[in-house]
Amino acid sequence: MQNLKEGELVHLIDKRGRRYQLLLKAGSSFSSTHGAISHDDIIGLEDGSVIRSSLRDSIFVVRPTLAEYITKMRKGAQIIYPKDIAVILMLADIFPGAKVLEAGTGSGALTTALLRAVGKDGIVVSYEKNTEFQAVAQKNIDTFFGKVERTDCSGELILKEQDVYQGIEEKELDRILLDLSEPWRVLEHAEESLLNGGILLCYNPTVLQIYKLSRRLELRYGRSFRTMGIYEVGLREWEIKDRSMRPEHKMIAHTGFIFVARKCTARG
């Protein structure tokens, strides 16, 4: 892998795990309670190097992972966090070359993950009716693939300022992923646009939303869709200090429910 270059986005991590985001620029410097760090001292280093600040504190320098980038990137709308994105990619079975429709784009967290998962032969179409959110998402996506990701492996992005409740223009989609307040309003369009065997995945924060979605699908679209599961993901860190090992006092518990269904062909 190439050494760190000017124009790259890096994270500086101190001994306590605090993280600082930095866009490398020759001749610039970064200052914190740890002292000053010259960008020139970072440019040219290997990813994962340890440098010393002007106060002789040790600072770890890394290219951020996608999960790390997402937690620090600019937020327009509320994002889906990495713990849920990881499970979504598996439950929706996002594969290289897939044709995926997402709505809404929000701040682009899931969009970025989808683009990397579908690979250079895949397509991600993302609907977002809020122009401000769309602009934030586009910048976040461009920043990740232009200043963090070092491989040319992302899929084609088609970002549309469009309301998915009004319909889906694309047909023969492999996957549809919805992060919307009323996903049941999209079921008719999803039925028309998904390939047989395709996966519909919906992400919602409340029980009532998921219940209404499940009932609507069962009562009106039971011949076209089969529910595969409803999931909630928790994530808790553990720490080891000396001879002690224990769970962290805080954990990321409920953030949303993941609803998964597959399109099927009715017989008889």
- Count CB neighbours of 80 within 10 A: 21
Query: What CATH number is associated with residue 112?
Result: 3.40.50.150
Mean pLDDT of 65-83: 92
Q: Both 34 and 75 in a single domain?
A: no
Q: What is the pLDDT of residue 153?
A: 83
Q: What residue has token string 């609803």?
A: 259
Mean pLDDT of 61-89: 94
pTM beyond 0.85: yes
- Of 234, 215, 218, 216, residue with least CA distance to 226: 218
Q: Both 145 and 231 in a single domain?
A: yes
Mean pLDDT of 99-114: 97
- Count CB neighbours of 266 within 10 A: 7
Q: What is the pLDDT of residue 252?
A: 85
3 domain residue, yes or no: no
User: How far is residue 128's CA from residue 107's CA, in Å, rounded to a whole number?
Assistant: 10
Residue 256 pLDDT exceeds 90: yes
Q: Both 73 and 58 in a single domain?
A: no
In the three-class reduction of DSSP (H, G, I as helix; E, B as strand; rest coil), residue 237 is classed as coil
**Are 118 and 89 within 8 A, CB to CB?**
no
40: domain range?
A: 9-62
Mean residue pLDDT across the chain? 94
User: Any residues with CB less than 8 A from the CB of 221 and at least 6 apart, and which?
Assistant: 187, 188, 191
Mean pLDDT of 195-221: 97
Question: Of 22, 38, 62, which marks where a domain is finished?
Answer: 62
Q: Both 185 and 87 in a single domain?
A: yes
Q: What is the pLDDT of residue 233?
A: 96
206 domain residue, yes or no: yes
Q: Is 178 exposed, middle or buried (0-12, 13-18, 19+ CB in 10 A)?
A: buried
Q: Both 25 and 84 in a single domain?
A: no
Mean pLDDT of 103-125: 97
pLDDT level of residue 76 (50, 70, 90 thresholds): confident
User: How far is residue 99's CA from residue 173's CA, in Å, rounded to a whole number?
Assistant: 5
Question: Of 19, 45, 62, which marks where a domain is finished?
Answer: 62
In the three-class reduction of DSSP (H, G, I as helix; E, B as strand; rest coil), residue 191 is classed as helix
Say what angle helices 109-118 and 131-147 make with each other, to 10 degrees.
50
Residue 267 pLDDT exceeds 90: no
